Structure 1
């Protein structure tokens, strides 16, 4: 009987262990976006608090990759399909240490950086496309390398073509929500975008050729706090959810995303710390722990260490 009790205690202890993490020291950054760069076998990370872009090795060494005194916060980040450029969403939505009245909820920029040198290639202003408040949050590329950016406060998706011309792609009613609206965004090779509406918890499908035909993907649950996403293949999507849920889901569709179901999920025992975005490094799915709850709760001692956490999936319960 004693042996059985010991085994049960050990098993319980093992179950409570979080999944593998890459911990890095980057004081006050509060990184939101993450993008794996295959050529250097490292990760680019953004900063909601300082507006910088950093680079993290597999071993957890952080170095500042890009900084600009005009930047307040950086969010979504993606390596361009050509592997040579880094695209970054920059604004001043909430947590910036350097926020001003002139920029708070007004700034919306798309930065393009050289992945080797860290030099800025272009800086595209998105703030004049739609009146009102702005929060450039995440981005995706289509098959022609056009860029689509979600603005979570304007309830809009912008398009920047390969020449750098910016325009409003969609302000469909399905993108609207109180507070934060469109957030994570991915492109499906079927010719449409999938956008996570953070406020409503819904997943929206928007055809590239006709945004007026946007539709809500029918799923058996809602995802309030839906954040970053990955398009694993045409039928499988990875979605990060924070807002107290703090889990990662794999969602599958067999009808071209007219409907979908949750197939896999991470365990609640994995203890993600306000997960925000995800990136694929080979076959591994890495999640950024943004730790935003610390800022929201008015923590007077900003963290020095942050982490990316490996997502381990298990079949979803019916």
Structure 2
């Protein structure tokens, strides 16, 4: 996500032949009947995050204005999947079904967009993760991450990655922090460093993915940078060399194999395909997909295909009236 002026209304190496397993959502053979686009109508929903649930043939989508998590079928039918009073605004989603965990994790923040749930105590101060049974939608946990740093100026939980052991890593866009929630639900500050801070009012750390080589890749939106964070020694993080690339407003990230990263740059209206031959010390651009002025935020992986979410969060930031009513998930073609 990029930043909006105050009041803050958010738009919020391995071998090249080794195929990615845990780092990306469950793949299966591409289904040639998969739609090129799924459009659903839900006035003023403004979703930011999405995942595809292969087991139930549905996209899951978040909402900055309603908080609830919805499910979308290929025919455009939208229905509620999960809701709870603690869901002020849901941002990034992570479906984690490995190892029998069968859970959906949702980043929860309060940008001030939900008129029924935002409060002075939580607006721009909330960073949490809600956990749901991925089949039933029942809430099974809630972790208040902002409480780990109560004196921080602001908080905004944005995106989530999960490693092979079930540890979740969560970015905070308003504080220079990546949190960790272990498989038992214990939260801690995984990485905190002033070099990861963004100017006040800007989004800093944003999209995040786990690479089975033992590191995280993280988008830093204010710089258009990619950060590589080793799990074994997070303080030794480095910037990925992106010579000649403009990744301003980088948001959602998705690994399609161990050497290929998709990056959504919302303000640019682009999805870039980046490739690395040196374990993400550096990357080069090998493809791009133009979305147009729809404020794309992130991607869902379905049957070997990637779908980008058209969020229209810019309209929300500008308080467009009437609000946007139709949102789309569009198959990326390079």
Fold similarity call, TM over 0.5? yes
- Which segment is superposed worse, 91-100 or 181-190? 91-100
Provide Cα deviations, 1:214-262, integer angstroms capped at 9, x if missing partner: 000001223121101111111110110112x110011111011111111
Cα RMSD over matched residues? 1.5
Give the whole-Å Cα distance in 2 for the aligned partners of 1:61 and 1:239: 28
The answer to whether 1:89 aligns with 2:107 is yes
Residue number in structure 2 paired with 1:116? 135
Instruction: Identify which of 274, 278, 288 aligns with 1:255.
Output: 278
Give the whole-Å Cα distance in 2 for the aligned partners of 1:114 and 1:81: 10
Unaligned segments of structure 1, at least 5 residues: 1-18, 314-318
CA contact (8 A) 1:89 1:138 kept: yes
Provide Cα deviations, 1:259-316, integer angstroms capped at 9, x if missing partner: 111111113xx42510001011012110111101111222121222211111111xxx
Give the whole-Å Cα distance in 2 for the aligned partners of 1:254 and 1:290: 32
Where do residues 69-108 of structure 1 align in structure 2 (5 Å cutoff)? 69-82=85-98, 84-98=102-116, 99-108=118-127
Structure possessing the higher relative contact order (Cα contacts under 8 Å, 6 or more residues apart): 2
CA contact (8 A) 1:238 1:249 kept: yes
Q: TM-score, normalised by structure 2?
A: 0.84
The answer to whether 1:37 aligns with 2:53 is yes
CA contact (8 A) 1:218 1:259 kept: yes
Provide Cα deviations, 1:38-77, integer angstroms capped at 9, x if missing partner: 1011111000111110000122110011112332100000
Length, aligned pairs only = 292
Q: TM-score, normalised by structure 1?
A: 0.88
| SS across alignment from 2:40 | strand
The answer to whether 1:146 aligns with 2:167 is yes
* Larger CA Rg, structure 1 vs 2: 1
Give the whole-Å Cα distance in 2 for the aligned partners of 1:298 and 1:67: 24
- Which segment is superposed worse, 209-218 or 65-74? 65-74
Residue number in structure 2 paired with 1:202? 225
Unaligned segments of structure 2, at least 5 residues: 1-34
Give the whole-Å Cα distance in 1 for the aligned partners of 2:298 and 2:181: 22
The answer to whether 1:190 aligns with 2:213 is yes
Give the whole-Å Cα distance in 2 for the aligned partners of 1:216 and 1:309: 30
Give the whole-Å Cα distance in 2 for the aligned partners of 1:173 and 1:312: 38
Give the whole-Å Cα distance in 2 for the aligned partners of 1:36 and 1:198: 24
Residue number in structure 1 paired with 2:176? 155
Give the whole-Å Cα distance in 2 for the aligned partners of 1:151 and 1:229: 15
CA contact (8 A) 1:247 1:272 kept: no
CA contact (8 A) 1:287 1:309 kept: yes
CA contact (8 A) 1:272 1:309 kept: no
| SS across alignment from 1:128 | helix
Instruction: Identify which of 299, 314, 317 aligns with 2:320.
Output: 299
- Displacement of 1:94: 4.6
The answer to whether 1:222 aligns with 2:246 is yes
Give the whole-Å Cα distance in 2 for the aligned partners of 1:41 and 1:137: 25
| SS across alignment from 1:22 | strand
Provide Cα deviations, 1:88-113, integer angstroms capped at 9, x if missing partner: 00110253333221110111111110
Residue number in structure 1 paired with 2:262? 238
